[in-house]
Structure 1
Amino acid sequence: MRTPENQAPAVLVQLPSIPLTAAAALLLIALSVIMAALQGSIVNHFTGTLDAAKLSLVLSMTSLNLAIIAGLMLVAMGIFEIFRSYRLENELRNLSFLLLLFLGLFVGAIFYAHLHFEMKVVGVSEDVKWHTMPILALKLEKDLITQMQNRLLVFEFDPEFSKIPVYSLYIRSAKIDQLNSNLPFSGLMSVQAFFQDDFNIVYDAKARYRGDNFYHWGSVKKSWRVNLSDNNLFNGLGKFNLINPKHPSYMLGPITSKILAEAGVMTPNSYNTALFINNRYAGVYEYLDQLDETFLRKNNWLPGDIYAGDKPKDENNWITREQQTWIVFDEPQRWDIQATFDGNVDRAMGNVAYLLENVNTSDANKFYAFFTDHMGEDYLRFLAEKTLVNDIHADDRHNQRFYFDPSSGKYIPIGWDQEVLPLPQDMTPDLIANRIDRQVLKFPWLVERKNELLYSQLNSFDENKVIDFIEQNKEDIEYPLLNDIDKHVADWPLSRNITMDEWRQGVEDMGQTIRSNYSFIRSSLSQAYVSISVADSGEVSFDVNGISGVKIVAPAGSCFKTKKHGREREYSCFAQGGLILHPGRGIRTEKVQLGRYVYDSERVEAVPISYVYDSNAGSEEIVEQLRQLRYYNSVTGQEINPQIERKAALSPRQSDFLSAGYSQHPWLYEEAPERQITWSGEMVLEGQHVFGRNDTLIIERGTVLSMKKDASIISFGTVIAKGTAEKPITITSYSGEPWGSFVMQGSNSYAELDYVHMSNGSGTNYGMVTYTGMISIYNGNAVIDHSVFSDNRNYDDLLNAKRGSIRIRNSQFFNSFSDAIDLDIVEHGEISSSIFRNLGGDAIDLSTTNPLIFDVNISGAGDKGISIGEKSSPQIRNAYIEDANVGIAIKDRSDPRIYGVIIRNTKLGAAVESFEKNWRYGGGGLGTIYDSNICDNSTVLYMDSVSKTTFVGNGGTVVCTGSSCDVGCKNELH
């Protein structure tokens, strides 16, 4: 037996006594409670010095961890008490202690290995500093605790009780492993999948991860891009996105999509959906349309270009840390071409370069000319909507999306990935999120128009309607979200899991932001001020300040004679019919502290603009005249009271009123006055004759316009060309070479052509638009009667119309190079009592157009008598078609109503053909044909397997498909 001198030590580790351990645990609990109680006060005290969000996280998680440590100490104390009560050997107690210690270290190692992995993945594109690691560790710990809490509260999700659509993705486990093998790069490689919609229709598809932030592909819940195979469509699209919502409300996409649509801004559709992946509930997502040609066609836009200005990607198709700060407006190569109307990416990239050239110019005149011709109202409407939600996310670095409309040459903005943020209360409601916004701000009348659109949007879809939409969404997604274990949202540079309480708070915050923004904008737009200085010399200065302009109206029958100082020679009656004077804007840069950092921040402020007039009356009379005028807020219509003062002379600032500050003076950019131009007799034209929106061109009866090669008439205004049967107006070639085109362009354009004979034209290019008709009506309106069009060359059509409206009566079309009449997405159309002969293509070609066609006589069409395509629904009565290759073709879900047609002697095809030509419309021909004579043809019908056309006549109804049809003719189906 060993003696005490040589006996082994009694313990390997000296454990604290039980009372001391309990006291330490209670102290930690007390500190945790105190820290939790004082958290709000501490955060408020250090606001402006430290980052409030990070400080709050540190305090809350420190409080929680103190409580956890105290709990672990009490648990350990209990275990040791158990050991002691059973009189276990000291070695066993020490071993147990070491096992607990190693378990803690093991769990900690796994935790920090997970954090290190996430930081490594994020570090590919985000510059995450080492000193942020403790904060990120606390975030990750909080996220794990929230996830455990969510798991305890989750029940099995039953799709039968869902108020939102329920979709499913099926992907083999090996393919998911492939997607996760080398994130983020591996997630961009599409894998085989199947997609099932809420009607249980299953589509063969390809799927991959999408998005350039960690919360899209790094968290448990991934964002998906789904590309259907075999030209299948879902929601009218072949590609779409299922996005992990980034905002705690879980409805940011649907809200902004709704506000954009209500504002009349081009936008992809978004709504909430529940998603299963391999029969496991993956949670609540946001569905989002993908932008491509199919998206354009679905929304009745002409196929055109789509340009995406986003953070540029490297050879791995990923964003490096260096590229995060690149400005997309610096180089065209930083843009992606997501669609083109002609397959020419080089041409499309040239259009991007032209956009950037004008956005970056320091020449205000150059930018204004470009903006007027190629952006205009569409961008101002978008800018107004962005102001409503304070979306600064479409900035100089990313989220720029533009549709280039080939019929107008305009770059039309697309709302994309918007945010909803509180508007700063210390500046004007003027957004300058990017270089375009900053340029627009220079022009007070553009700012005024933006404010008018903003005020209209405020009232047409007001905050109450937005809140109703939010509340309905909240009700719809609550049950699916309650059962969503992984309620991940964005939390740079990672993501975080939220509780249901945090979701409800997110919804509440969203509604409060909407109410606050709308209230602030209403208040701001009501601010309009004018002070008037009357000098002894007769000079009158109107100094306009505030957010909105001032509308001045003279009483009926009065005449206060003035002239613009230094701009006009003759006096005229002031403010007759109303006059709007605009305030200006300035930009000041100030230092703003956010946590430990100080930034330069731009603030927009209202500045006065002076408008100086000369009057030949005495100062007392001038003041009296001014008091008789009425003054209104030009946006809201509220009446305002001006300040009027007499002074010996105007101030130097008022006298130098045209000098440019940040805002350009409106008098330097006055719109061209109305003009009336008359052409008569015999004229020889060469080059392009362009007429503005305020011009009226009158071509008198009997006029002969002899057009030299490529000569064109291009009008953005009004053209009145009225001949007579005895004295028609003739527009033809000067020397036999084809001239260009007779063009009407834009919503302000309008043409009346009566007894006009037009021949030997072709087409032309102007303002980034190719006009393919000898007469081209693009986005305008035209009425044509008793006219003759013939013998066009080189370009496609005798007459081509896109959008707008057109009415053609009692006219003739001969010898076309291709189609006689081609109508694309024309809103209102009529073709009646007209004759078509010897045509190179179709007599009438319709795309997404629903005109009325009656009493037309067609003979010798080189292709189709009437081609009805791309979801058109015309009404056709009493058409006679003979000697065409095909009588009537019905394509791509077009659904015409056809009455009393006669089709004879088709040459190559059938009298009636129904088929799918363009897969993007999701089907073949439909339609109903009543009481028609189509039997006198070698082939009567051609139907493909996805078409269904109905024939009504002789007291019966026959539904024809690709497999069966009996309309009483021989050799019916081909």
Structure 2
Amino acid sequence: MWLEKIFLKIKFRLFKRHRLFSITFLLLVLIFFTAVPLFSSKLGSAEKRAQLLRSYPVLTKVLPLYWKIRKTTDIVYFPYFFRKNQLPTYELIISEKDQKELDDSLPKDFMNVVYSNKVWVPAKFIYDGKTYDVKVRYRGDNAVHWNAPKKSYLVNFKSDDLFKGIERLSFIIIDDRHFVLEQLNNKRAKKLSLFVPDSWFGNLKINGKKHGLYFIIESWSQEMLAKAELPDETNFYSDFGEEDLIPEVLALRNYGIWDNLDRWTKLVNDGKLNFQHYTEVKQLLTLLNQTSDQDFYQQIFNLIDQNNFYAWQIHQELIHSNHQTDDVRLYFSNTSGKFYFIPWDLGNTDPSFEIELYGRLAKRIFSNPVYLSEKNKRLYQYLSDEKNLEDDLVFYDQAVKEIKVALYQDRLKIYTNHWANNYIANKRKEVIEAIDKLKEKFNQSLVFVEIGVANDNARQFLGKNLLATFDIYLKSYSDLYFKKPIFEFNRGFNLTDYQLYFENSANEILDNGDKLVNNYQDIILSTKRDFNELAEGGKLILTKYRFYLVSQKTASTDFANNLKTANTEIENAMSGKLIPQEEISAKLYNEKSFKDFSAINNINAFERNNPFFQIGRTNKQIILASGNYQFNKTVIVPAGFILKIMAPATLQMAPGVSLISYSPVQLLGTASQPINFVGQNYNQPWGVFAVINAANKSLIQFSNFSGGKDDYINGIYFSGMVSIYHSDVRIENSFFSRAFADDSINVKNAVSEIVSSDFRNNSADAIDYDFIKEGMVADSRFFNNGNDSIDLSGSTVLISGNFIEKSGDKCVSIGEKSLKPIIYNNVLNGCDIGVAIKDLSEALIVNNVIINNRSALEANQKKPVFGGGFAKVYNSIIWNNQNDIVTDPLSKIEIFNSNVKKQSTENKNFDHDPAFNPDFTINQKNANLLFTNGGNAEILNQILGFDQKTAPVGLNR
């Protein structure tokens, strides 16, 4: 009926003006709608359809009518309108005035334009009965996102009213993300341990009107990073995509993101400097564009996380996508000092087409055959497990099933259900073809061998006779191994005592620089690539490797005289299969007839610049002998050694000067001969003592640190006077005082043990543990620290036997989803808060004395991205605090078998004035018997393995 009305209206208006014009117009419309299906095979790609519309722009005027007419075929899917749509539905309410402002911001042209005048308008976002005040705008640079009735949207939530911890949410038309393909890409990313934003499918209504099915994904924000347990106050970069698509600008900007800083922008800012800075990207570009190959290969994975980069590249190759070669999302972790790549909008390309797989950074990295080989091994490992593809296809099919009803019910989309079905099926087919194409490449190799027969008894090396030279030439996507030579000799002659040397010195002369082959798999034969050629994975370059055949007993001439044929046994390093002999061409010839960042790895520079250190290159030790030292400049200890500081020693640090070690450290003080780090000027703080990315555990004993602050080196912010990042450590019998920055000691992402140590008069936190999944703080004393004595974030540790007094903020702070830390047998005295539990943390608080604080226990939500705090308290004395328990509506504290004033007795709690000894143990003569045996012994057995029949309330001594 509606179609008939449209045609009648057009016909009436046109006939009023001119009968001939009307007839002509209707004929053109009829021809157009007949011709498009007729030539659909020729216009099957988006590029060809776009070319047609650019050539005949008048056709864009009748496209909306065409969209409606062709969707009449969807009548066969009518029963789906009675099916239940299981996807969540979200609603936007936008005023008429604001809707007009949005529409007016769009380009006037239908296509071949970029949306650069993006405006935000206020709106209401409604889901699950809750209404959010938000800002909304159209999303996407390209016209596909907004030149039809159904458009893509970006929704921004208020920072104090987030949607499930999300600040920015994109609603993207489902076909732009290839229906379910991008969700498969994200699923694969997680399988490869890559971080990706949360994404799902849902329906959208705007002002009560159904806008149908959308791909929904969280957009970049600090909140997104915090939820992923990543440092959120850091720099997160991407390419500056909007203007790049404008032809006039692009003609002038004939360079890419890897050339300079111009085309970079920030998604999240670290806020470390007063000005907006791009320091880390500048360092990366300098390394990429201004260093030799040797320096680049040695340093690149000091700045880029190696495992992440390999996985990120593999992720693209699995789906046959090169969208990320320049359109990158690059996250810099200021705790590891490294970049991490985040997949985004991969899509795919038909595997039958050859594409450029690597961007310029990847090309330079993979020009190193060692790096390329390792990446390919990991890729082949994924391919060789058939369950991976099976699992991927099951996920794909389940996702299709998940969206099917919503897709068929979507009346605002411009394509037919039949077209969508074919597109989805074709993409599934391409998923399989991409895997098959990779497998085929790994199993294809070209190998031929030139064998030079020495035939000269004078050619010897280390008393061995040189028999032959094997030059192996190859073109192979997969790495290869030279497993062994194969010979046919005259009857009666045999060769059994041979050895192979690999040409390692590049001078093509057998000498001491070459390598004896003990295990054939020690020598990887990789094919060089020319990445300047437009070939998938780089153009394979014929690559030569040389081996020398020697023998202790067989003379060179005897070998030559008895040799009939020779060849090689070559093994595919990925599959383990031998290349068939008939596929290896071997030709013999007679040779007788006719070689700072740099500081992280630079031991030579370290030795030149720091003569007071003793370098042991054999035992890999760097030793600072006992004595007094003036450090007037920051010292970087390179990786690959052990730093030992011998007692007694005093390191007098100039203001701002630090000692940073990329190797594990051993500070070997004693009670009578400690190691001291002090400032040269009492009132001017020095920098930090830090250990970063050390391969082995460090030990610090009987060491005193006083007067340090913080530092920012090699992209890493060291917030503690002592900072131990990504390096396991044990600290014992040490003293920390007068730290001027956030922490006296900060440990991140490591196993850490701090025992029998003393923390006094630090300006802020004494100990800060960030994401410590195994460790302890035990038998230590804390006095008069400015903020928290112990601050946990995302950590699961044991805090035991400590005496904490007069902290300016918390005795113990537990936050950012710290799961089940155990606070046991401590005295928490005279702090502002005894224990604070925040942000989805869950604490066990057992046998503690919490006394004389403003608040004994507080639980609350601090960061909106998280929830409340939770704690269970057992066998503890909570006494003489201004407030015993303070919680917000999202949090909960449960108390059992404890002595708390005015507390209910239902959980075996009681209210008796404790009779303390000076050390806060209970005076058995004067105290109620419940202090002796009123505790829960079972909890001690469960969490600590104690075999006690009874348990005290208070300290378990």
Gap change, CA 1:529 and 1:759, over 3 Å in 2: farther
Q: Distance in 2 between matches of 1:633 and 1:717?
A: 37
Given the alignment of the two structures, is residue 919 of structure 1 paired with residue 880 of structure 2, yes or no? Answer: no
SS at match of 1:437: helix
Which digits, 9 at most, give the CA deviation of each residue in 1:17-58, with x for residues without a partner? xxxxxxxxxxxxxxxxxxxxxxxxxxxxxxxxxxxxxxxxxx
Matched, 1:502 2:419: yes
What TM-score do you get using the length of structure 1 for normalisation?
0.74
Q: Secondary structure at the match of 1:284?
A: strand
Distance 2:692 2:142 in 1: 43
Q: Look up the match of 1:849.
A: 795
> Is 568-577 or 464-473 further displaced after alignment?
568-577
Structure 2 contact 178–347 (Cα < 8 Å) conserved? no
**Is 530-539 or 789-798 further displaced after alignment?**
530-539
Question: Paired residue for 1:259?
Answer: 188
Tell me by how many angstroms 1:291 deviates.
Answer: 0.7
Q: Structure 2 vs 1, CA of residues 905 and 349 (structure 1 numbering), >3 Å: closer, same or farther? A: same
- For 1:503 and 1:879, the matched residues in 2 are separated by 64
Q: What pairs with 1:238-317 in structure 2 (closer than 5 Å)? A: 238-247=167-176, 249-303=178-232, 304-313=234-243
Measured at CA, do residues 558 and 750 of structure 1 come closer, stay the same or move farther in structure 2, by a change above 3 Å? Answer: farther
What is the CA–CA distance in structure 2 between the aligned matches of 1:128 and 1:723, rounded to whole Å?
A: 79
Equivalent position of 2:277 in the other structure:
348
1:207 to 113, 118, 136: 136
Cα deviation digits, residues 813-870 of structure 1 (max 9, x gap): 3332321211222333322333323323211111222223222221232321111122
Which is worse superposed, 736-745 or 610-619? Answer: 610-619
Secondary structure of 2:881's match? coil
Residue 233 of structure 1: how far off its partner (Å): 2.5
Distance 1:897 1:526, change over 3 A: farther
Residue 22 of structure 2, aligned match among 95, 102, 112: 102
1:743 is matched with which residue: 665, 690, 693?
Answer: 690
Structure 1 residue 878 and structure 2 residue 813: aligned?
no
- The answer (yes or no) to whether the contact 1:470–1:507 under 8 Å persists in 2 is no
Q: Relative to structure 1, is the Cα distance of residues 885 and 361 closer, same or farther in structure 2, using a 3 angstrom cutoff?
A: same
Residue 564 (structure 1) aligned with residue 504 (structure 2):
yes
Distance 1:243 1:840, change over 3 A: same
1:697 aligns with 2:626: no
Point out which structure has higher relative CO (alpha carbons under 8 A, 6+ apart). Answer: 1
Matched AA of 2:70: T
Q: 2:882 maps to what in 1? A: 938
Between the aligned partners of 1:651 and 1:345, the Cα distance in structure 2 is 73
Aligned to 2:88: 165
Where does residue 415 of structure 1 map in the other structure? 343
1:84-135 alpha-carbon deviations (Å, 9 max, x no partner): xxxxxxxx9x9899669638748989999xxxxxxxxx9xxx9999524377
Correspondence 1:388-537 to 2 at 5 A:
388-396=318-326, 399-424=327-352, 431-432=357-358, 434-458=359-383, 462-487=388-413, 497-527=414-444, 535=452, 536=454, 537=459
Q: How far apart, CA to CA, are the structure 2 residues paired with 1:943 and 1:486?
A: 48
Partner Cα separation in structure 2 for residue 295 and residue 566 of structure 1: 50
Superposition CA RMSD, Å: 4.5
SS at 1:816 equivalent: coil
Cα deviation 1:431-452 (Å, max 9, x = unaligned): 12x3222322322112112212
Q: Corresponding residue for 2:771?
A: 825
The corresponding residue for 2:662 is: 716
Report which stretch shifted further, 215-224 or 171-180: 171-180
2:892 match:
948
Q: Structure 2: how far apart are the matches of 1:959 and 1:766?
A: 51
Deviates more, 1:324-333 or 1:854-863: 324-333
Q: Does 1:902 align with 2:842?
A: no
Q: Is the 8 A contact 2:876 2:898 kept in 1?
A: no
Cα 1:828–1:431 shift into 2, 3 Å: farther
Q: Distance in 2 between matches of 1:674 and 1:523?
A: 46
CA shift, 1:511, in A, is: 1.3
Q: Is the 8 A contact 1:583 1:607 kept in 2?
A: no
Q: 1:107 to 1:407 in 2, by over 3 A?
A: farther
State the 1:698 CA deviation: 4.9
2:100 corresponding residue in structure 1: 177
- Which of the residues 538, 543, 548 maps onto 1:604? 538
**Secondary structure of 2:136's aligned partner:** strand
The change in CA–CA distance for 1:932 and 1:458 in structure 2 (over 3 A counts) is: farther
Superposed displacement of residue 166, structure 1:
2.4
Q: Secondary structure at the match of 2:620?
A: strand
Rounded Cα–Cα distance in structure 2 between residues aligned with 1:621 and 1:454: 43
Partner SS state of residue 895, structure 2? strand
Q: Deviation of residue 680 (structure 1)?
A: 5.4
Q: Contact (CA 8 Å) 1:529, 1:550: kept in 2 or not?
A: no
Measured after TM superposition, the shift of residue 943 of structure 1 is 3.1
Supply the AA of the counterpart residue of 1:268: P
Output the CA distance in 1 between the equivalents of 2:856 and 2:830. Answer: 10
Unaligned runs of 5+ in 2: 33-45, 108-114, 460-465, 486-496, 596-615, 914-957
The one-letter code sitting in structure 1 at the alignment partner of 2:144 is Y
Count of residues paired in the alignment? 811
CA deviation profile, 1:887-932 (whole Å, cap 9, x unmatched):
11222232222222221222xx4122223332232x3333322332
Structure 1 residue identity aligned to 2:100: D
- Amino acid in the other structure paired with 1:465: D
Q: CA separation of 1:145/1:649 partners in 2, compared to 1, >3 Å: closer, same or farther?
A: farther
The partner residue of 2:122 within 173, 192, 214 is 192
Which whole-Å CA distance do the structure 2 matches of 1:790 and 1:588 have between them?
54
Q: Could you give the per-residue CA deviations for residues 559-612 of structure 1, whole angstroms, max 9, x where no partner exists?
A: 75667336874676434595142423333777xxxxxxxxx7787222244344
Could you tell me which residue of structure 1 aligns to residue 529 of structure 2?
586
Preserved CA contact (<8 Å) 2:878 2:900: no
**Residues 650 and 528 (structure 1 numbering): CA distance in 2 closer, same or farther, change over 3 Å?**
farther
Give the aligned partner of residue 145 of structure 1: 69
Counterpart residue type for residue 581 of structure 1 = I
Helix, strand or coil at the partner of 2:435: helix
Partner of 2:712: 765
In the TM superposition, 1:545-560 aligns within 5 A as 545-551=475-481
Contact 1:875–1:898 (Cα < 8 Å) also in 2: yes
How far the C-alpha of 1:285 sits from its partner, in A, is 0.3
Q: Distance in 1 between matches of 2:574 and 2:592?
A: 29
Q: Is 1:802 equivalent to 2:728 in the alignment?
A: no
Q: Aligned equivalents of 1:933 and 1:511: distance in 2?
A: 63
CA contact 2:679–2:708 (8 Å) conserved in 1: yes
1:387 maps to what in 2? 317
**Residue type of the alignment partner of 2:430:** T
Please state if 1:221 is matched with 2:150: yes
Instruction: Check whether the contact 2:500–2:547 (CA below 8 A) recurs between aligned residues.
Output: no
Is the 1:237–1:289 contact (alpha carbons within 8 Å) kept by the matching residues of 2? yes
Aligned residue for 1:830, secondary structure, equals strand
Structure 2: which amino acid aligns with 1:827?
K
Structure 1 residues 601 and 550, CA, compared in 2 at 3 Å: closer, same or farther? closer
Q: Is the 8 A contact 1:337 1:348 kept in 2?
A: no
Cα distance in 1 for residues equivalent to 2:361 and 2:310 = 11
Q: Determine if contact 2:235/2:269 at 8 Å carries over to the other structure.
A: yes
Q: Secondary structure at the match of 1:368?
A: helix
Q: Identity percentage over the alignment? A: 22
Q: Secondary structure at the match of 1:288?
A: strand
Greater displacement, 172-181 / 322-331: 322-331
Question: 1:529 Cα deviation (Å)?
Answer: 6.9
